[in-house]
A and B are shown apart, each in its own frame.
Chain A
Amino acid sequence: MRNHEAFMRMRQNDFRARGHAAWWAFLVHRISGFVLALFLPVHFFVLSQALSRPAQLNDFLAWTRAPGVKLAETLLVLALAMHLAGGVRLLLVEFVGWRAEWQKTALALAGAAALAYALLFALNG
């Protein structure tokens, strides 16, 4: 019975922790990092075609201008910007110092910077 109570309390704490802004930042950092890691080998392969098969690369680049692909590309760029902003925040927390009152501001700034860049990318050229 005591174990059950402890378990329920742990679950409650778990859910409370997940409602926290920093937990969402952690989740976004992990998912964006995972997506970027999977994308990198494809990115390197495509770029390596530039000199040996420029026509194929140009066809591929033309394909990336299709609306659906452009949207996926924008989400990828957003993932990169979010991973950067969230990573800088983590480095600051770990090596400069942690202040409870700064956390929400830091998270808001990181999210805003990433979204602003993704918007710039989406509307650019």
Chain B
Amino acid sequence: MFTDKFKDQRYHLTEEKAALALDVLRQRLNRQLEASLEVCVRCGVCAETCHYYVSNPKPEHVPAYRAEQLRKVYRKLFDPLGKAAPGWVGAAELNQDMIEQLIMTAFGSCTMCGRCVINCPMGVDTRQIVRTARAMLTAIDMTPEGLKATVNVHLESGNNMGVSGEDFTETIQWMEEELQNEVCDPTATIPLNKKHADVIYTFNPREVKYFPYLIQAAAKIFNAAGENWTLSEESWDATNYGLFSGDDSAARQIARNLEQAVNHLGAKTLVMAECGHGFRSQRWEAENWLGHSYPFNVISFVELQAQYIKEGRIKLDPTRNTKRVTYHDPCNQVRNGGIIEEPRYVLRHSVMDFVEMEPHGAENYCCGGGGGMLSMTEFASERKAAGKAKADQILATGAEIVATSCHNCLDQLDEVKRHYKLKVKIQNLSELVANAVIWPRSPAVASEDQPASEPV
């Protein structure tokens, strides 16, 4: 199984690589990690909390089993009985077999969604254990090819899809024109590199490349709210796959790019696009990677939309969204980010028929697309199989639209929809909001009172 997927010589463990991987474990061993490595009693009640296990119930899909793979290595290094009687406490050398186990479990069957963490009676943070295993593997160049390439492209080109600056600005201009045509208002703009804006917005490169209408949707909401906002040409990619590869150095560099862009423009708030891991990276992890706090706020676009509605800055007509809608909580926004009520508040104001899937909120199942899974084609069939838990959840709601606020979730849900033949449409939350927005100025008034803006 392993050799079918990983034929390259770089997946062969040498003594130097083993020593380096163990060094990474030693360096990363803090109190939080040690507590999680020590406290598990292997009760196995975490089994059904994992979407991999729910979709394919076998012992290898129990979260505790995954964490055990790194624990074996840890015990061999740090446990007195692990050194003296390894078989008694399940300690193991970091050899080729162990490395293969780590790759297959840490990269191949865990999205680090954290559902097992909130369900563990002992408080074991399996996310942290799995990310540590990934960090060890990345340090010895054993990251699956697609994930490695995504991080490298981001470091080299400033965004993870290698979108050129020219393509970026042309797309923004195009979307500005589209927006002006849509709302019949030439004052609607997409400002670029504006100094001292209240809000600087980011998005996923997929929006520029494949889904530019999502840029238009966001711009419509910002304009309707009368926001003092901007984009930055210097850095605009919300994603950070360093979170998934476990490479803190790469993650730090990517986070720094955005930080510098915000500081150079002097913006007050960095608004992360509807990108689950991007939000988590920049909001919760980046300052720890960088070693200092930001002088600005970081919030999700989901939070901002809820705020606009609450403050009456945008008016919505939910009758424009009449179909039944359910919401998929992206793990990195809800469980790992605390954004629980906001998307529900937004949907209750922008659609006629909102129904929850069960379970939802912090207990929601991962769709299977987290943890960088979509970039690791080696595990595509397992990823689709793991989406069954989500497919069953969606089916039970009877919804026609599944809204979410994460691009990895959008992609995975789209595959789940096709794989399990679900008759639903997968949409971004802001698409539904933008569709319900009542434009604050009538076209006639807008064109008479305010001059059309020059294209950026």
A, B bound:
no
List residues of chain A with CB under 8 Å of any chain B CB. none
